[in-house]
Structure 1
Amino acid sequence: MTTARELDERYGRTGRRRLPWIIAGVLTAAVVVAFGWMIVVSEMSTVTADDVGFTVTDEHSVDLRFQYTAPRGSDVTCVVQALDAEFGVVGWKIVDIPAAEAHTSAFDVTIPTVAAATTGLVKSCWVA
């Protein structure tokens, strides 16, 4: 009578087939962990900004109020814009904001314009 071990050896059902699957599983887990860590690190250094409000003071300036969220203790640089009724840029300014201990902070800035503006907004922000 043929034993189970003899049948396994005859048809190649040995423990050696598991090794490639184990290696593939470990490599897949390592890749998932690496990509997850890269996402966490990139999110930790991102800056988001939200417009709170604006006031058109005259034909040559707009006051913009916004809040930004950035890593604590990081200097932040933002580009702010003033737009006209047709969404054309009539003024812009680069604002350097010193590091703050708070995760979210508010900031006010006056944007000089070359024509009458109808709105002011934050274009983008980044860690300086």
Structure 2
Amino acid sequence: MTQQMLDERYGRRRSTGRRVIGWTIIGAVAVGLIGWVGWGTVARSIDEIDDDLTAFEVVDAHTVSVTFQITSPPGRGVTCVLEAQDEEHGIVGWRVVEYPAVDTHARAFSEEIPTVALATNGLVNSCWVT
């Protein structure tokens, strides 16, 4: 028996129109999904901030000085959380600092963090666009 005879016997039809429509729908969904993932990646990187600690100094038992630089989107304000830790990595001081929007991409800062005990280091915990 040939394929045509079997198709006629069991009532099967080969419809190319349905196949074309099916693949068109699958292709449209795939293009939409790729666009959505691409836009999500771009949107996340637009507001991305990079902070780099360049130095810290334990001034005394109640103060730590941190020097750091950030790269942020121009024209957007930035808020950073600075932290001082003791020998056991317990937080002994922290400070939230806000920086106004400027037209430059990279900036450097030096800030002092008040502490409640002797700190052994200072660091930038996180920064975000405000």
| Range into which the TM-score falls when normalised by the shorter chain | 0.7 to 0.9
The CA RMSD over aligned residues, in Å, is 1.7
1:111 corresponds in structure 2 to: 113
2:39 to 17, 37, 40: 37
Shift, 1:13, TM fit: 4.8
1:99 corresponds in structure 2 to: 101
Gaps of 5+ in 2: 1-6
Opposite residue 32 of structure 2, the aligned amino acid is A
Report the 3-state secondary structure (helix = DSSP H, G, I; strand = E; otherwise coil) of the residue aligned with 2:59.
Answer: strand
Opposite residue 92 of structure 1, the aligned amino acid is W
2:4 corresponds in structure 1 to: none
2:80 corresponds in structure 1 to: 78
Aligned residues: 121
Following TM superposition, the consecutive aligned residue runs of length 4 or more in structure 1 with deviations greater than 2 angstroms are 13-16
| Residue correspondence of structure 1 range 14-53 to structure 2 within 5 A | 14-53=16-55
Shift, 1:15, TM fit: 3.6
Shift, 1:51, TM fit: 0.9
Opposite residue 77 of structure 2, the aligned amino acid is D
Report the 3-state secondary structure (helix = DSSP H, G, I; strand = E; otherwise coil) of the residue aligned with 1:18.
Answer: helix
Opposite residue 101 of structure 1, the aligned amino acid is D
Opposite residue 57 of structure 1, the aligned amino acid is V
1:54 corresponds in structure 2 to: 56
Gaps of 5+ in 1: 1-6
In 2: Cα distance, 1:34 partner to 1:115 partner: 49
TM-score (norm 1): 0.87
In 2: Cα distance, 1:89 partner to 1:14 partner: 68
User: Residues 25-76 of structure 1: CA distance to partner in whole angstroms, max 9, x if unpaired?
Assistant: 1111111111211210111012221111101111110110111121111110
User: Residues 69-105 of structure 1: CA distance to partner in whole angstroms, max 9, x if unpaired?
Assistant: 2111111000000111111111100001111212121
Identical counterparts, % of pairs: 44
Report the 3-state secondary structure (helix = DSSP H, G, I; strand = E; otherwise coil) of the residue aligned with 2:109.
Answer: strand
